[in-house]
Structure 1
């Protein structure tokens, strides 16, 4: 409802015949707006005007450049996992910080550009208006839209500021693409390009190309023998390869159960144990926290993050908490010197579930195709 009752509201047909400037003036009159001050901030084409335009355009151009950098890094930067001591680890480690810096910088630069646009380019205006309640009639809404268009025309944002318009389009378009790229990234990067050797399935426990098995070692690299564990005990072990103790998917719990204890063997994993010794991934299948709290009497293993519990005597199946998949089991054997080695890599995906889990290779009952 208009604040000024003395202004005659034109009909819909009359509104259609009015120009944008006339509808803008009508809207101000109907709303009882009084312009105390109004005018361009600088003389059009003056050095101060051009300097202000360049300053605003700089932020939009920077936002656009950062958006392009984000898209390029997201798609083409080396993102596959690299062990701590392997060549290319620095490039891999920079991937997440770089996409965070470029996307965050793009949003920040775009925001600064919008603020600078309002402060340096838009006409200076001080208006006084009486507030009113309730939804405005059609005439008010159309006149308000006309006012906005009229202000843009008078400011020359579209007509005479080509650099500013182009930089704004670049920044807005780049920001929009940067928001869409993470959603489409899964269609660009194929995590199954290497089939059974794809990163989601392979860990440092995979045997070397010449067939050499990976030893189970302590965190300091000392290999583990069966005599190192007492009956009923558990030890955390790592793959005896460079960077094995730092790999996020490699930590394993090695158990020595009592000889009279019955253990459920899951389908497809017969013979994975060595005598009374069993090895299971230490990475919780819920969100990847370290599972390490072992209760010897009950055979329960607890994840401290969200209290998921796994039953060692039931093949490490989850029995409590949010985890829904059992902990993967590592096949064991002894090498010629009597040290524990991994006979093969895990036959299941290690860590949290993902939406394609179970498609290739199936982890439910059939083991993964051996490639090592």
Structure 2
């Protein structure tokens, strides 16, 4: 059988002829069928193995390696760099302030390095080819589809990438590390197992839980961290609301502990004083959670965790400004409007012998949305 196959308009290769062709013949046939005329094709390095070729190859590989190193730096910074907020002027603020720039630069530079490597590879190592192709409308024929892969393989062989192991390995390293870095971004927020501590897991309790028998006071934020303002009943007028946080005397003077108590997402509680004589429906088993006209509910909306920071004394409604959920304070903070489907958890409170509000216990049900569809059962 002749190694040349007629491809005139009146002659198309049969399947048997296609099967008998070598990859080179199929690639040449693909060009002929596509009416592609190669004007010239000059290899970037006609003589393989020259110093110039090796320099070009190392230059491309270097950018792939730089990309991998930059992505590794991103992963390390994403996991280990101090990310928790630090006030201006406090130790560690400079490092905190650099967290976003560092992870942004390392991730972005890794992607940029891959782009530079690919551009240099095309410019320095691919052959200089000029081709002219006649374009036609309509779908590809069976023969076109059969020869396409051979044409792509032949083009890859012409770029000489297949024999450049250094570039292949460095590109594989960059791609693998980039994949790991992207996975860290996607999974970074859920790496920590919140249930690892069993019954002491943070999802089961809040900062209102008594520890070592120490009293937990209701404290209001005055804007000065070291100023401790514990709340008394006479501090509030009927029909008013106050945001309070947990406080223990052992935390006095400890700015880190005081700051944590105010920043914990499940710590804010709204203390409400209803008007005298207001009729209230209480949840069974929680009849003694209030102290007179004073009621304390979690400020974390049971819809998506926004702060329920508004209280309408006229109709006793607690409002969440994010998605307009409304809870009725006179009906155990049951949701009466909006997307929230669960009441706000109530904090058991009383007044101690000093006359200050204190928490009698932690919340008896988890605080917040999602998982918190039902209380813990034992």
Scaled by the length of structure 2, the TM-score of the pair is 0.79
Distance 1:261 1:335 in 2: 24
Distance 1:34 1:209 in 2: 86
Query: Structure 1 residues 242, 27: closer, same or farther in 2, change over 3 A?
Result: same
Residue 328 of structure 1 corresponds to 345
| C-alpha distance in structure 2 between counterparts of 1:323 and 1:150, whole Å | 62
Q: Please list every run of 5 or more consecutive structure 1 residues that lacks an aligned counterpart in the other structure.
A: none
C-alpha change, 1:69 and 1:343, in structure 2 (3 Å) is farther
Alignment equivalent of 1:127, drawn from 128, 131, 137: 131
Distance 2:92 2:352 in 1: 31
Q: Which has the higher contact order (CA 8 A, sep 6+)?
A: 1
Does 2:52 match 1:40? no
Tell me how far apart the structure 2 counterparts of residues 268 and 104 of structure 1 sit (CA, whole Å).
Answer: 55
Contact 1:82 1:89 in 2 (8 A): no
Question: What is the aligned counterpart of 2:242 among 235, 238, 244?
Answer: 235
Query: Judging changes above 3 Å, is the alpha-carbon distance between structure 1 residues 312 and 100 closer, same or farther for their aligned structure 2 residues?
Result: farther
Indicate yes or no: 2:190 matched with 1:173: no
Alpha-carbon distance change, 99 to 83 in structure 1, aligned in 2, over 3 angstroms: closer
From 208, 211, 216, the equivalent of 1:213 is 216
Contact 1:280 1:330 in 2 (8 A): yes
- Once the two structures are superposed, the pairs formed by residues 47-58 of structure 1 within 5 Å of their partners are 47-58=51-62
Task: Show structure 2 runs of 5+ residues with no match.
Answer: 1-6, 248-256
Alpha-carbon offset, residue 265 of structure 1: 2.5
1:296 pairs with one of 313, 317, 328: 313
Structure 1 residues 209 and 104: CA distance shift in structure 2, 3 A: farther
CA contact (8 A) 1:84 1:246 kept: no
CA shift, 1:111, in A, is 4.1
Q: Report which of the two structures shows the higher radius of gyration computed on alpha carbons.
A: 2
| Change in 2 beyond 3 A, CA 1:237/1:213 | closer
Match of 2:166 among 163, 166, 174: 163
CA-CA distance at 1:96 after TM superposition: 7.9
Q: How many residues align?
A: 355
Secondary structure of the 1:190 match is coil
Q: CA RMSD in A?
A: 3.5
Residues of 1 paired with 2:286 and 2:117: CA distance? Answer: 60
Write the distance in 1 (CA, Å) between the matches of 2:94 and 2:359.
Answer: 28
Give 1:72-221 correspondences, 5 Å limit: 77=80, 105-159=109-163, 161-180=164-183, 189-220=192-223, 221=228
For the residue of structure 2 that corresponds to 1:55, the secondary structure is helix
Return the alpha-carbon distance in structure 1 between the equivalents of residues 85 and 268 of structure 2: 14
1:136 offset after TM fit, Å? 0.8
1:24 alignment partner, one of 12, 22, 27: 27
Q: 2:325 maps to which residue?
A: 308
CA distance in 2, matches of 1:348, 1:88: 36
Q: Which moved more, 1:211-220 or 1:255-264?
A: 211-220
Written as runs of structure 1 = structure 2, the 5 A alignment for 1:280-291 is 280-291=297-308
Name which of 300, 316, 335 aligns with 1:318: 335
Q: Is the contact between residue 333 and residue 343 of structure 1 (CA under 8 Å) also seen in structure 2?
A: yes
Determine helix, strand or coil for the equivalent of 1:242.
helix
The corresponding residue for 1:11 is 14
Superposition deviation, residue 112 in structure 1: 4.1
Scaled by the length of structure 1, the TM-score of the pair is: 0.80
Alpha carbons 1:24, 1:150 under 8 Å: kept: yes
Does the 8 A contact of 1:283 with 1:327 survive in 2?
yes
